[in-house]
C-alpha cells in the first residue's frame, strides 16, 4: 500500500453565513461551524484513505472571535497523522468580513476518523509522510495529542 | 443576585435521525450531533443566566457507538460549573434503536458558554450550588477540566 | 404480547426557535410546530409499539400564544389510548421566553399513528394500562374523541 | 372596505417529495405535509386580507394514502369563510405517482388565520362573497365547523 | 407511443420566501430561485415522459426584479419542445408582494431534461403537439434556441 | 479607486453531496449545484467589490456528468470582467468520486452580479486588471458573452 503526503488530502471549503445558520443575535451557532468542520475533516480523511470514514472524536475546540451573518467562513483541513485504521485531521477555520475584507482566526480543530471497509469494519489506511516543516510540526503535535488521549484513557480504565 | 442549582438549568432534547441527517452510509454525521449538543447546551446556559449566550469552547468529544437512520437521540444538558461570566455545561448523548428499544451511550460533551448583556458584552451570571452527589461530582470534574485548560493556555502563552 | 403503561412511551423534545423556523414577522410557523409535534408523537408511538409507525390523523389543534424567535419550545408526548393496530398520542406544547423564563401553553394536540410490520401492513400493538389519575383521564378523553370520530365517519358514509 | 370572492385567494402549490422530507421507510412525514399546508393556507389568507397573518388553529386532518419519496404533492387552498378578523381556509392535498401519473387524495384540511395590523394586533378583513355552487357549499361547511368549535369552547368554559 | 400536449405537463408551484431563503440584505438568493425552477421543471418533464428525469442544461436566466422576504413566488413550467430522449421546459417566475398584491416578472428560464429508463439510460419520450397559439410560439422559440446551442456546440468542436 | 486582479476574488468551495441534496435516483439536483454556484459566485463578487451584491443573470449552464450521493463537489469562482457597477464571475464545477479519487468536469457557469451601496442602489466597483494568460482569455470570453447579450437585448427591444 502506497504512502501519501498531508498535502494529498488537503481540502478548502468556503461557506457564506446565511440567516438559517444564525441565532437570534445574528451570530453563527457554534454547532453550525462544528458541522462544517466535521464534513471538511471527513473529506480530507476520505482523500487519504479512499474509503468511507466515520468521525470517532473531536479534540477541544475554542471559538476566538464571533462570526456574523453575511460573513464568509473558510475551512482548511488536512490529515496530520495516521495510525493503522485511523487518521487525525487538523482543521483551521477563519472568517472574513465581506465588506472590510478583514480575516480573523475563528478556531482550530483536530478530529479523528476511522476508515471502514465495505462491511463497515475498520480497515488499514495508507501511511503518511509529512514533507514540509509545517507538516512535520503538525504531525508532532498530533502525536502528542494522541499520547495524551491514550494516557487519559488508560487512567480512566484503571479507576 | 440569586444562586441556582444545576437542576434549574436541566434540558432534555429528543431528536429522530432523519435521512437529511445521515451520510451515504446511513449513519448520522458527527457534526449533526455536535450541532444538537450545542443547542441543548445553549438552552441550559440560558436557563441558568436568563441571558443570551455564545459558545466559547467545546471539550474533547468521543463517539462510542454509531447512530443510524431512524434512531432516536436523547440529549441531556445541565450547568455543572460557573465562573463570573461563563458557564460550563455537561451534555450526555444516548441513542435508542426504535425497534429493539436498546439504548446505547453515544458520547459525553462539555461546553463553555458566556452570557452577554444587551450590548453583547460578557455579563455576570448567578452562582451555582450543586446539591446532589452527582451534581457535586460533575462540579469537581468541571473544575479540574477548567484548571487544565487554564494551565495549558498559560503554557501556550509562555512559549 | 405484554401490555405497557402510558409512561413507557413518554418523550420530551426541546427545540430552540431559529431564524429558519420563523416567518417575516419573527414568529414561528404553525407548520413548524406541527412538524415537531408529528415527530415527537411518532417517537412515543414507536416506543409503545416497537414498530415503524405512520401518522394517520391529527385532531384539532389551536395555537393559544405566539412563539417568537429565540424562544425554547418544549413538547411532551405520551400514548393515551390504543386500539388493535393504532395508537392515540397526546402532545402538550409549551414555549419559554429564554430571558424572563416565563412559560406559556402553546397548544395541545392529539394524533393517531398506525404500527406497520416489515411488509408495511398494519400490525397489532401491545395493550395499554393507564395507571395514574392523569393517565386515566387522558385515556377517557381519547376514547370519547375516538367515538366522535367514528360517529362522524359513519354520518359521512351514510350521506 | 371591498369584498372578495374565494377564487381571489386561490393558491396552488406543487412540491416534490425529496429524501429530506421522508422517514426511514421512504414515506413522507405527516408533519412535512402539515408545514406545506400551513404555508399554502397562509398565502391564501394573505391574498384575501393583504395583511400579515398568523395560524390560529387547524381542524382535524386525516391522511388517507401514503405519499412516497419522489411523488409530486399538489396543495390547493382557498378562503371559505371570514369572520371580522379571521379567515377559514380550506386546503385539498393530492399526491401524484410520477411514473404512473396516478393521483390520489391525501388529505383535506381547514385552518383558521387571523390578520394582523402593523402593530401585531388583529385587524378587520374584507368580506367574502361565495359565487359558485362549490364555494357556497364550502362556505356552509365552514360555518357549521365554526359553530361546533364555538359550541365546544362554550362547553369547556362552563365546566 | 402516444403524443401529448404542452398543457398535459403544466405545473404551478407557489412558494413563500422565508428567512432561510434570504441573504443578509433580506432578498432571496438567485440560487434558491434556480433550485425551485429546477424542481418545477423536473415535475413538468416527468409529467410528459412518466419517467425519471435529470437536468441537462439551463439556458440563460436574467433576474429582472428583486424578490424580498415574505414575498410569494409563483413558478409555472410546461414542456415546450421534445427531441428523442430530451425535453425542453419553459419556466415563468413571478413574485407577489403579499401586502400590496403587486405582481412582478422575476425571470424566465428554459431547461433541458433527459428521460431515463430503469437502468439510468436515456429513453424515448412521447411526441409533443403544441395546440394553442402560445404553445406554438413557445415551441418555435425552443427550436431556435436548440439550433443555436447545436450550432455553438459544433463551433466549439471544430476549434 | 484602486484596481484588482481576478486572483484577488478567487474562492474555492468544497461540498459533500448529502442525502438531502439528492433526488429519488441518488443523484444531485441540478438546482442544488446552481445554488452552490450562486453563493460561490457572490463571494467572489463581494471580494472584488467589498460591497453587498445581487445576482443579475446566469449564462447557459450544461451538466456534463452526473454527480452522485457521497461525491465531493469542488466549485472555483473568480471575477473575469467588470463593467461600471457589475461583475461577471466565471465558475468551474468538478466532482470527485471519494472512493476512486476520479475527478470529472460537472459544468462551467458564468454569472453577473451588481454591487449595491448602503441604500441598495448600484454602485461603482474597482477596475479589473487580468494578469495571467488564463485570466486574459477568460476576460476576452466574458467581453464577447457580454456583447452577445447586449446585442440580443437590443434585438428584443427593437421588436
Higher pLDDT, C135 or F66: C135
> F70–B20: do the CB atoms touch at under 8 Å?
no
How do strand E72-82 and strand F86-96 relate by DSSP bridges? unpaired
E strand or H helix that includes residue C128: strand C127-128
Q: Give the largest Cα separation in chain B, rounded.
A: 54
Lowest mean pLDDT among A79-88, A128-137, D146-155, E106-115: D146-155
Q: How far is E19 from chain A (nearest CA, A)?
A: 6
Phi, psi for residue D15 in degrees, rounded to 5? -130, 150
Note the residue count of chain B.
Answer: 159
**What is residue E25's predicted lDDT score, i.e. its pLDDT?**
79
Report the candidate in C124, C145, C127 with the shortest Cα–Cα distance to residue C79: C127
Which of chain C's residues have a Cβ under 8 Å away from the Cβ of B118?
A: none
Strand partners, A4: A128
Q: Please tell me the distance from the alpha carbon of residue A70 to that of residue F48, in angstroms, as a whole number.
A: 16
Confidence at B158, pLDDT banded by 50, 70, 90:
confident
How many CB atoms are closer than 10 A to CB E76?
17
Q: Is the CB of residue A1 less than 8 Å from the CB of residue E6?
A: no
pTM (predicted TM-score): 0.93
Phi, psi for residue F22 in degrees, rounded to 5? -110, 160
- For chain A, the average pLDDT equals 93
**What is residue F124's predicted lDDT score, i.e. its pLDDT?**
96
Higher pLDDT, A19 or B51: B51
Q: In this model, does residue D24 exceed pLDDT 80?
A: no
Which of chain D's residues have a Cβ under 8 Å away from the Cβ of F22?
A: 18-19
* Angle CA F71–F77–F79, to nearest 5: 170
**What is residue B1's predicted lDDT score, i.e. its pLDDT?**
59
> A38–B25: do the CB atoms touch at under 8 Å?
no
| F/C Cβ contact: 3+ pairs below 8 Å | no
Q: How far is D142 from chain B (nearest CA, A)?
A: 36
Residue F140 touches chain A, beta carbons under 8 Å: no
- For chain E, the average pLDDT equals 93
How do strand C103-116 and strand C86-96 relate by DSSP bridges? antiparallel
Confidence at F33, pLDDT banded by 50, 70, 90:
very high
Residue F24 touches chain B, beta carbons under 8 Å: no
> C25–D61: do the CB atoms touch at under 8 Å?
no
Nearest-by-CA chain D residue for B20: D20
Q: In this model, does residue A1 exceed pLDDT 70?
A: no
Nearest to E72 among D43, D99, D101 (CB): D43
> F20–B19: do the CB atoms touch at under 8 Å?
yes
Strands laid side by side in the C11-16 sheet: C11-16, C72-82, C86-96, C103-116, C52-58, D61-62
Q: In this model, does residue C33 exceed pLDDT 80?
A: yes
Lowest mean pLDDT among A63-77, F21-35, F113-127, F129-143: F21-35
Q: In this model, does residue A26 exceed pLDDT 90?
A: no
Q: What is the mean pLDDT of residues B31-55?
A: 96
Confidence at E150, pLDDT banded by 50, 70, 90:
confident
Confidence at C1, pLDDT banded by 50, 70, 90:
low
Burial of B146 (0-12, 13-18, 19+ CB in 10 A): middle
**What is residue B150's predicted lDDT score, i.e. its pLDDT?**
84
Nearest-by-CA chain E residue for A26: E24
Which of chain D's residues have a Cβ under 8 Å away from the Cβ of C52?
A: 23-25
Q: What is the mean pLDDT of residues A52-58?
A: 94
Choosing among A17, A18, A21, A24, which should be mutated to test the C contact, i.e. which has the most C CBs within 10 A?
A: A24
Residue E144 touches chain A, beta carbons under 8 Å: no
Q: In this model, does residue F24 exceed pLDDT 80?
A: no
**What is residue C153's predicted lDDT score, i.e. its pLDDT?**
79
- For chain C, the average pLDDT equals 93
The percentage of chain A sitting over the pLDDT mark of 90, rounded to a whole number, equals 76
**What is residue D1's predicted lDDT score, i.e. its pLDDT?**
59
Report the candidate in F34, F32, F6, F1 with the shortest Cα–Cα distance to residue F19: F32
Sign, CA dihedral A103-A104-A110-A113, equals negative
Nearest-by-CA chain C residue for D21: C35
Which of chain D's residues have a Cβ under 8 Å away from the Cβ of F28?
A: none
Q: In this predicted model, what pLDDT tens digit does every residue of B73-130 receive, in sequence order?
A: 999 999 999 999 999 999 999 999 999 999 999 999 999 999 999 988 999 999 999 9
Q: Please tell me the distance from the alpha carbon of residue F89 to that of residue F81, in angstroms, as a whole number.
A: 7
Which of chain F's residues have a Cβ under 8 Å away from the Cβ of A117?
A: none
Residue D47 touches chain E, beta carbons under 8 Å: yes
| F/D Cβ contact: 3+ pairs below 8 Å | yes
So what's the ipTM on this one? 0.91
| E/B Cβ contact: 3+ pairs below 8 Å | no
Confidence at D22, pLDDT banded by 50, 70, 90:
confident
Which of chain C's residues have a Cβ under 8 Å away from the Cβ of D35?
A: 29, 31-32, 34-35
Q: In this model, does residue B24 exceed pLDDT 90?
A: no
Q: What is the mean pLDDT of residues A114-127?
A: 94
Q: What is the mean pLDDT of residues F24-32?
A: 86
Q: How far is CA C140 from CA A61, C48, C64, in A?
A: 52, 18, 24
Nearest to F70 among B19, B20, B24 (CB): B24
> C23–E20: do the CB atoms touch at under 8 Å?
no
Which of chain D's residues have a Cβ under 8 Å away from the Cβ of E70?
A: 52
Nearest-by-CA chain F residue for B69: F19
- For chain D, the average pLDDT equals 93
Lowest mean pLDDT among C99-113, D103-117, E11-25, F91-105: E11-25
> D99–E50: do the CB atoms touch at under 8 Å?
yes
Which of chain E's residues have a Cβ under 8 Å away from the Cβ of A18?
A: 20, 22-23
Residue A146 touches chain B, beta carbons under 8 Å: no
C-alpha cell at A124: 488499514
Amino acid at each position: 500500500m502506497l504512502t501519501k503526503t498531508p498535502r494529498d488530502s488537503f481540502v478548502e471549503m468556503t461557506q457564506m453565513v446565511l440567516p438559517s445558520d444564525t441565532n437570534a443575535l445574528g451570530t453563527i451557532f457554534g454547532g453550525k461551524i462544528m458541522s462544517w468542520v466535521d464534513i471538511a475533516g471527513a473529506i480530507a480523511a476520505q482523500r487519504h484513505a479512499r474509503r468511507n470514514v466515520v468521525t470517532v472524536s473531536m479534540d477541544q475546540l475554542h471559538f476566538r472571535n464571533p462570526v456574523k451573518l453575511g460573513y464568509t467562513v473558510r475551512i482548511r483541513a488536512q490529515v496530520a497523522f495516521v495510525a493503522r485504521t485511523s487518521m487525525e485531521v487538523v482543521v483551521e477555520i477563519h472568517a472574513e468580513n465581506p465588506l472590510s475584507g478583514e480575516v480573523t482566526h475563528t478556531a482550530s480543530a483536530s478530529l479523528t476518523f476511522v476508515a471502514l471497509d465495505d462491511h463497515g469494519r475498520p480497515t488499514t489506511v495508507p501511511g503518511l509522510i509529512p514533507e514540509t516543516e509545517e507538516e512535520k510540526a503538525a504531525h508532532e503535535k498530533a502525536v502528542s495529542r494522541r499520547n495524551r488521549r491514550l494516557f487519559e484513557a488508560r487512567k480512566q480504565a484503571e479507576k
